[in-house]
Amino acid sequence: MGQERFELADLVRLLRECAGEAEGADLDGDILDASFGDLGYDSLAMLETTGRVERDHAVVLDEEELDEAYTPRRYLDMVNRALAASRAAV
């Protein structure tokens, strides 16, 4: 079964594994409200990261919510809602 919460450190790790780190982007800084575009991640990088999240945590993320999850804060909120719903369904 998946973990309790998906944290910023988990997201940063997956971003680095799936798409590397953009030159000049400091993923160790205060990035919660920075857009993924400003951090150097395009839609393909986010698609790959999302695929890993879904596979690793056995959840399906809502495509409409994904369109609105353009910052790490929004993305984490969306993933954690999906994790909570998945646990509630068990």
One-character DSSP codes across 42-79: -HHHHHHHHHHHHHHHT----HHHHHH--SHHHHHHHH
Contact 49/72 with Cβ under 8 angstroms? Answer: no
**What integer is the mean pLDDT of 61-78?**
95
| Residue 1 pLDDT | 43
* pLDDT at position 77 over 60: yes
Average pLDDT along the chain: 91
Residue 25 is predicted with a pLDDT of 78
Per-residue pLDDT for 52 more than 70?
A: yes
8's enclosing H/E stretch is helix 8-19
Which residue type occupies 68?
Answer: E
Q: Kindly state the average pLDDT of the residues 12-18.
A: 94
